[in-house]
A and B are shown apart, each in its own frame.
Chain A
Amino acid sequence: MLMKFGVVIFPGSNCDRDMIYVLQNILNQKVEILWHKDHDLHGCDMVILPGGFSYGDYLRSGAIARFSPIMNEVQEFADQGGLVLGICNGFQILCESHLLPGALLHNNNHKFICKNIFIRTETDESLVTSKLKIGQALKIPVAHGEGRYFADENTLKELEEKNRVLFRYCNERGEVTDTANPNGAVNNIAGICNAGRNVFGMMPHPERAADTTLGNTDGLHIFRSVLQYAIA
């Protein structure tokens, strides 16, 4: 029941090693490193776009990375139903690539924010939340300057109606409040999926909450959900 994950390294990625460590050393899965200049996904079951500052996040977060050679293959893979997960900068790249709708704007306080926050599970009908209970609050760190999710009204309506919001920022009791929203994201949205429910993006970093040594393993629930794929 091993899965093969492909972790893309863009110039400026800096959460790639953390992701690989969790997948390989903590969850004992196979990992293929995918260099941004390559054109081969090496038969991976899931492609992960890790966090970081691809191309320095110059111009706009994710705006340049979407033109990396490997993104052609990622696009094709996603179009055919392949699993793609973007974390933080990965989420930004997926939005810039239009694999996910909406955009990630500057935090409403115009500062970079790194801290533990809580996210409420909004649906169990997605691969990344399949092992979670609706309403369950997870403690997961965020670390971003441009993390305020935004989409136009029609898009939001569709996301909400089609149950495509994966997570919302909440307090530790699972209540979705304004004060629990670290960046001003519309509807407190922290993570979404596409219409095909095979492309996932989230700003919080589950890979930073997956090692008992660091005292928080809430992120493992998300990875264990993903590993359901191998069983199914």
Chain B
Amino acid sequence: MSLATEQKPTLETAINLGLLPEEFEKIKSILGREPNFTELSLYSVMWSEHCSYKNSIRWLKTLPKEGPHMLAKAGEENAGLVAVDNNLACAFKIESHNHPSAIEPYQGAATGVGGINRDIFTMGARPVAQLNSLRFGNINNERTKYLIRGVVKGIGDYGNAFGVPTVGGEVFFDDCYNINVLVNAMSAGIVKKGKTVSAISYGAGNPVFIVGSATGKDGIHGATFASGDLHEDSAEDLPSVQVGDPFTEKLLLEATLELIDTGAVIGMQDMGAAGIICSTSEMSAKGKHGMNVWLDKVPLRQANMLPWEICLSESQERMLVVAKKGMEEVVQQVFDKWDLNCTQIGEVTEGHDLKFYFRGELSAQVPAESLVLGGGAPVYEREFTEPAYMQLNRAFNPKTVPVPVDLKQVAVHLCTHPNIASKRWVYQQYDSMVGTINMSSNRPSDAAIVNLKESDKALALTVDCNSRYVYADAETGCAIAVAEAARNIVCSGGIPSAITNCLNFGNPYNQEVYWQFVHAIKGMSAACTKFQTPVTGGNVSFYNHSKTGDKEIPVFPTPTIGMLGILKDKNRMMTLDFKQPGHAVFLIGKTTDDFASSEYLYSFHSIKNSPAPYFNLDEELQMQQVIIQLIEKGLIASAHDVSDGGLFITLLESSMPRNLGFDISTDEDIRKDSFLFGEGQGRVVVSVSEENLDAFVDIIAEAGIDFINLGTVTQGEIKIDSEDFGNVSCYKELYDTALEKILN
């Protein structure tokens, strides 16, 4: 069949492919004719939510993108690029793999890891650290346990074999994720400035290669799948889930970096969502050229694949390389050395059209620009309304909540709660030490510290989002996510530099969900502006909800923040553990009588509706600047931020690494449960040695910041207002083993 003779698809076909009627019309007007099935398929994936950002881009554009260290702005490259020092830059990005992981947890999570790492090394950066942010449903459900085991093993098996350490992450459980788990994977890589490669194609006559794995039918329409609903029959979408091969990815990494060194590369892009059509169209649109592609030359792993299947396949571990004409041999030699496929499948042309040929016939002809975000892809503005539940959140009255008689019971409840207890069952399955750069392996810190062997500096990396706060108040909650990320970096001795985000929300056509999205963006903008941490990129994942009958229940709005910070002097790394009995313990930042949206309120009292916890952006920044100053002057022995579980858990976490304890007094003006378990933001616990005490007090007094002298570090006993709360060793046993008792 050729373009002329093929039977043309109808509106119904377009709708079945996930396109809207007006989008079908738009395609006809772009082409000036009826599209054939292959062409329609190309548009359907490129204009899917996943690739086009059509329902989010309008708001994403309002995020702050300028910063003193930015080398590549959001959307310009596969990942954000930030200057680390005069020689080095860091490429980093976070991405979701939610829907595949909900259906096939092992491969879904594994290919998420593979995809995000390819985004980093396709730019010429060698990945040095990985993080992940995972959300699961009720941990006591058998299905949740199956999903956790699969996701963790998938991330581990892929990342471990790929050989890049997993240095940090978060795991959170809530019923709202029972059906639709969230798997967000982040990677950071290092590249010498000026050695980066762009995802661009230009220069008529230049050869186009496909390298890496052969192409199969896996993952066809994966991008469309990711942009649709999860429903009862979703397991039947299994072919939409791709299969990962970390061994090939490792070879592809080494070969790709070697290839870049040869100088033969014009541009390069990995093949992730939407496969060949995505990389050919995005690279061509960016370079303002066309491309001829001979689909029969693509190495296939199964017979009888049709042109549209080859174009849309999301087979993993593949790259598209546009090389300089005359250097074909050089490219071939590198991939031969690494025993990888390397096949010329096309060439760059003048003009703007992508032409796909198959068995001598023209299968599809489309203008590259018309397919891509920022070009012809549709952009929508959606309406939004405040969710009805916000009334309930505002109506919360803390006075109706009794102070428990036995606060020790709360302490035990929290330290064994899956959201707070040690995640070692998870992270010990990840290789956290390969690469010999993880400075936090032996010295625990709030953010993961990554050594740069060629520099005096180190990176600080963290992923954060308490989605319960975002549900409570999208704008404040998302600002808190940014603030907490910054706080973790500051507490580790770093200066916050930039963020990447992974925006996990429900159905954008649901006005209440869209309200959450819009307000989260507003909160993120405000906080990122305040901390001077521009948004370098990331991704949006909509349609995260479960369906029962006709009712969609969205997950908590979950805008995961991945933040990069820089330690100017790696010797000034700060750790979270108390160092010696007798050290004074201080709480820096304003303490309020507040336990809204705390784990304590939510799971101990089972009160699900309350506002976000206390948060003030200006106070937060001021507090962080004081911590930076204290670390620079070498005046504190430890720093650990107050977050999930409140002050008690923070003190416990600082005590456990060295089996120390604490003896503190609470404030009689504040409810004791608020004081110990409230999650008011903007606070950090520090410990100070006797010799530094005077200089320390001078600085915090001069800064005029709120602080409380809590008490002292002990040999191991825990005392609060002289009441014996037991020994740290008992809590440590409970804290360390809570998760494995459920999962083993």
Using a CB–CB distance below 8 Å, which chain A residues touch chain B? 11-12, 14-15, 17-18, 21-22, 25, 51-53, 55-58, 109, 111-116, 141, 143, 145, 205, 207-208, 210-211, 213-216
Contacts and interface: CB of A to CB of B under 8 A. Distances in A.
A114 B432 contact: yes
B245 A56 contact: yes
B433 A215 contact: no
Given A115-B424, A215-B439, 19 more contacts: A11-B339, A12-B251, A14-B162, A14-B163, A17-B435, A18-B434, A51-B434, A53-B246, A56-B245, A57-B161, A109-B744, A112-B160, A113-B429, A114-B160, A114-B429, A205-B433, A208-B436, A213-B570, A216-B442
Nearest to B253: A14
B442 A14 contact: no
Nearest to A22: B436
Interface string B141-160: 00000000000010011001
Contacts of B248: 56
A38 to B, nearest CB: 12
A15 B436 CA distance: 9
A172 to B, nearest CB: 12
B435 A53 contact: no
A114 B245 contact: no
Interface in B424-456: 424, 428-436, 438-439, 441-443, 451, 453
A89 to B, nearest CB: 10
Contact of B431 (A22, A114, A213): A114
B509 interface: no
Interface of B: 153, 156-157, 160-163, 245-248, 250-251, 338-339, 424, 428-436, 438-439, 441-443, 451, 453, 570, 744
B433 A141 contact: yes
Contacts of A113: 428-429
A111 B434 contact: no
Nearest to B441: A214
A214 B451 contact: yes
25 contacts: A11-B247, A12-B161, A14-B163, A14-B250, A14-B434, A15-B434, A18-B435, A18-B436, A53-B160, A56-B246, A57-B161, A112-B429, A112-B431, A114-B429, A114-B432, A115-B424, A115-B428, A141-B433, A143-B160, A210-B436, A213-B439, A213-B451, A214-B438, A214-B439, A214-B442
Nearest to A25: B453
B350 to A, nearest CB: 40
Instruction: In the A-B complex, list the 3 residue pairs whose CB atoms are closest, starting with the nearest.
Output: A14-B163, A56-B247, A215-B442
A25 B436 CA distance: 13
| Chain B residues touching A, majority SS | loop
Contacts of A12: 161, 247, 250-251
Contacts of A55: 247
A141 B247 contact: no
Contact of A114 (B161, B163, B339, B433): B433
Contacts of B451: 211, 213-214
Contact of B247 (A58, A111, A112, A143): A58
Residue from the set A52, A57, A215, A216 with the largest chain B CB neighbour count within 10 Å: A215
A18 B246 CA distance: 19
B578 to A, nearest CB: 17
A167 B432 CA distance: 23
Nearest to A216: B442
